[in-house]
Amino acid sequence: MLKITLEVAKVLIHAAELRARELGIAEVIAIVDDGGNFVASHRMDHAWLASVDIAHNKAWTAVALKMPTASLAPLAVPSGELYGINTTNHGRVVVFGGGIPLSFEGRIVGAVGVSGSNVANDIEVSKAAVRAFETYPKARIGSSGSLL
């Protein structure tokens, strides 16, 4: 199974930052592994300090619930079946877009979380990281599952 290493995280962060720069925004980009454990984070110059925790929590939520955080928004409204979910897990669950799982061979192996702009921009920047992951040279995976 593929493991999200620091090398992989740096590639994803770089792709996300390039997209944020194209959009003219400053973002915080966080990468977690399949257990929601911190791998790497990057705060662009002038990005909001509050976005550090939000980006990490978006990535954690995407892994913990195995879905993009944007998918939670309609489920977490007062009439939704998951209303109040954002109050669980010590408030770590984020119910708006910017967190997306990273999948390899049908398994979630990590996630990216982005925060610092409006939700549409956060999603766009996180998708840039996902695209980079999808094209990352997976032929370099060693027997331990880590990228070489």
Q: Which pTM does this prediction carry?
A: 0.91
One-letter amino acid for residue 125 of the chain: V
When comparing pLDDT for 105 and 124, which is higher? 124
Beta bridge partners of 104: 107
How far apart are alpha carbons 38 and 45 in whole angstroms? 21
- 17 inside domain: yes
Instruction: List Cα–Cα distances, 129 to 2, 32, 55, 77, 88, in angstroms.
Output: 16, 12, 13, 28, 27
Structure tokens at 46: 């002038």
Query: Is the predicted pLDDT of residue 3 greater than 90, yes or no?
Result: no
> Using one digit for the tens of pLDDT, what is the confidence trace for 128-144?
999 999 998 764 444 55
Can you give the CATH number for the domain in which 29 is found?
A: 3.30.450.150
pLDDT, one tens digit per residue, over 43-52 is 999 999 999 9
29 found inside a domain: yes
Residue 147 placed within a domain: no
Q: Say if 148 falls within a structural domain.
A: no
Total structural domains within the chain: 1
CA 50 from centroid of its chain's CA atoms? 16
- What is the average pLDDT value for the chain, to the nearest integer? 93
pLDDT at 6 exceeding the cut of 90: yes
113 lies in which domain range? 6-137
Three-class SS of residue 116? coil
Q: Which two tokens stand for residue 104?
A: 């390899």
Q: Is residue 146 part of a domain?
A: no
Low-confidence winner among 25-34, 102-111, 131-140 (lowest mean pLDDT)? 131-140
Q: Which of helix, strand or coil describes residue 115?
A: strand
